[in-house]
Amino acid sequence: MKLETGIIRIRAFGEQDYSAVVALGNAVYPDYPWSEEEVRHWDSRFTAPGITWERLLAEAQGQVLGVAEYHHDPYAYDPQKLSIDVMVHPTHQGRGVGSRLYDELRIRMAPLDPVLLWANTRETFAQSIQFLQRRGFVEKRRAWESRLDVAAFDPAPFLEKATRAVEGLEITTVARERERDAEWMQKLYDLDLEVGEDVPRVDIYTPLPLAEHMRRLVDNPSWLPDAHFLARDTSGQYVAESNMFTSDRLADVLYQGITGTRRAHRGRGVALALKLRTVDYARRHGIREIRTWNDTLNAPMLRINEKLGFVRQPAWITFENRLGEPAEAPTAR
């Protein structure tokens, strides 16, 4: 069905639109299918005080053609810096739907007086990259996606180093810690704060308060407490972690979350030891594949994943638009 740009209606997102947003997202990213429960949880990330979030829909003749949103990044918060996302159904791309959505986003976010916008796309999405570049966005950073074939993984070459690395430490899980340690949440938050400071980001790290930070984890329908592995020292402090999440629509796939170690314990192989536990968990639960993402600047974790046999996939690119400044030439690749 051919649709003329003039009859496209841009309107605000409503509670009744979740199913349409999920269907459109799954059409745009068929390899990363969402569920409505997951999208609702993701949206809850933008309910913290001071965080602005708005979603728009483009429709014609009762059909949702595209979705767009803007929001602050809670972990890199600046009132004048915003992340945006524009998705158009594959059968309607190249017809002005994305342009209409982007223009409306700029109007809606104008009262915030934004000075900088971020947007993400996969390096294989040439049309999306061109869309952003035409509007003054330039490449800021890249994150490699990697995937591990669980059945083909052989842990033997890594066991000796991993065993030495955790001498004097106890390997446990959040599921167990919740039952035996009343301070587990504070201890995990303290670990997340130290690890989070060293995670590569597009801007300065702005941690959330304990209650909001932990709510995002505990309320996540995809979080697996028994696959959230911790290294605990003799004082009871958590010194490292590695966790995984399910996919509602891909029963045989797990997503790797954060893997991080306190600075005083880095370089020993503790992260490697915990990664082995996550792969063992996946194998015992009949998982076919583990997927993870690592910033290209995170050399230590990239090396661990490569050694374990994670196969690199096309990168995801973060683009940046410094509003009002002349656009830089695209980075040569």
User: pTM of the predicted model, to two decimals?
Assistant: 0.91
* pLDDT reported for residue 47: 86
Predicted confidence (pLDDT) per residue in 192-204, tens digit: 999 999 998 889 9
139 located within any domain? no
Residue 167 and residue 47 share a domain: no
**Mean pLDDT across the stretch 124-146?**
96
> Between 104 and 298, whose confidence is greater?
104
Residue 18 and residue 59 share a domain: yes
End-to-end CA distance of the chain: 37
* pLDDT reported for residue 248: 86
Residue 249 and residue 152 share a domain: yes
126 located within any domain? no
> φ and ψ at 198, to 5 degrees?
-105, 5
Residue 301 and residue 198 share a domain: yes
Residue 209 and residue 96 share a domain: no
Residue 15 and residue 102 share a domain: yes
Burial grade of 266 (CB within 10 A; 0-12, 13-18, 19 or more): middle
Predicted confidence (pLDDT) per residue in 64-97, tens digit: 999 999 999 999 999 999 999 999 999 999 999 9
Residue 171 and residue 95 share a domain: no
* pLDDT reported for residue 217: 96
CA atoms within 13 A on the CB side of 162: 16
CATH number at residue 79: 3.40.630.30
Task: Determine the structural domain holding residue 35 and report its residue range.
Answer: 5-114
Residue 195 and residue 102 share a domain: no
Lowest-confidence segment of 90-104, 135-149, 218-232, 312-326 by average pLDDT: 312-326
pLDDT at 26 over 70: yes
Q: How many domains does the chain have?
A: 2
Strand locations in the chain, DSSP E? 9-12, 53-60, 63-71, 81-88, 116-122, 138-149, 170-173, 229-232, 238-246, 253-261, 289-295, 311-312, 316-322
Residue bearing tokens 């949206």: 43
129 located within any domain? no
Residue 296 and residue 231 share a domain: yes
